[in-house]
A and B are shown apart, each in its own frame.
Chain A
Amino acid sequence: AQTVTQSQPEMSVQEAETVTLSCTYDTSENNYYLFWYKQPPSRQMILVIRQEAYKQQNATENRFSVNFQKAAKSFSLKISDSQLGDTAMYFCAFMWYGDDKIIFGKGTRLHILP
């Protein structure tokens, strides 16, 4: 069975600091997609960043970047210059290439402290 593991249930950092959320996954496939979704207190799920496994370059979106280590099956999310609005639950997710379904990790609750 495919698994996505987020080992940090909860984290807190000071505003303006950099924080890294970890995610590991298990697959024997070579082609797949990885995602980070954000769920703020409003409950609305929002895509933060998307990575295609065949691409070597790490995806970035403004202050959000990933460290994709394919051999290690690791997909961590780095948030630079963290802001109060980054307070949310963050979900790492996996999708096989050619499949329709996303498999979510259990989430990391991130608190940005003023």
Chain B
Amino acid sequence: DAGITQSPRYKITETGRQVTLMCHQTWSHSYMFWYRQDLGHGLRLIYYSAAADITDKGEVPDGYVVSRSKTENFPLTLESATRSQTSVYFCASSLTGNGDEQYFGPGTRLTVT
């Protein structure tokens, strides 16, 4: 099916481990985004990408790494997971950046023990 998918949907990992969350979209949207959602904070932007090989920091980038070698994929890596990174992570995409609707994936619930 076309759309935007995330994997895994649920993940439990231990403190200090590296974990990668995957995001894939089939629309050839230029822009992709990673957010985290925490109680009391709404959605906060971690990183975003305007095109392949172009990435930029959002509001809360510390402890995360992204790459975008292909337009359709935008993986998010936690290099050394911490408990404070326990959250629900959403990937989103938009055709262009300016004013366009963002389409969201179903989210990944990550628990760091």
Choose among B40, B88, B102, B107 the residue that contacts A102 (Cβ–Cβ < 8 A): B102
Q: Which residues of B contact A105 (CB under 8 A)?
A: 42
Q: Quick one: given A43-B107, A44-B104, A45-B90, are A104 and B43 in contact (CB under 8 Å)?
A: yes
Q: Complex formed: what's the CA distance from A46 to B107 in Å? A: 13
**Which B30-62 residues have a C-beta within 8 angstroms of A?**
31, 33, 35, 40-45, 48, 50, 58
Main SS class of interface, B: strand
Q: Complex formed: what's the CA distance from A98 to B98 in Å? A: 5
A16 in the interface, Cβ–Cβ < 8 Å? no
Nearest B residue to A35, CB-CB: B101
Q: Contact at B106–A100, with CB atoms within 8 Å?
A: no
Interface residues of A, count at CB 8 A: 23
Q: Complex formed: what's the CA distance from A46 to B105 in Å? A: 10
Q: Contact at B41–A44, with CB atoms within 8 Å?
A: no
A78 in the interface, Cβ–Cβ < 8 Å? no
Q: Contact at B42–A101, with CB atoms within 8 Å?
A: no
Interface residues of B, count at CB 8 A: 23
Q: Complex formed: what's the CA distance from A103 to B48 in Å? A: 13
B16 in the interface, Cβ–Cβ < 8 Å? no
Q: Contact at B98–A44, with CB atoms within 8 Å?
A: no
Q: Which residues of B contact A (CB under 8 A)?
A: 31, 33, 35, 40-45, 48, 50, 58, 88, 90, 92, 97-99, 101-102, 104, 106-107
21 contacts between A and B (CB under 8 A): A43-B88, A43-B107, A45-B90, A45-B92, A45-B104, A47-B101, A47-B102, A91-B43, A99-B97, A99-B98, A100-B50, A100-B97, A100-B98, A101-B33, A101-B45, A101-B58, A101-B97, A103-B45, A106-B40, A106-B41, A107-B42
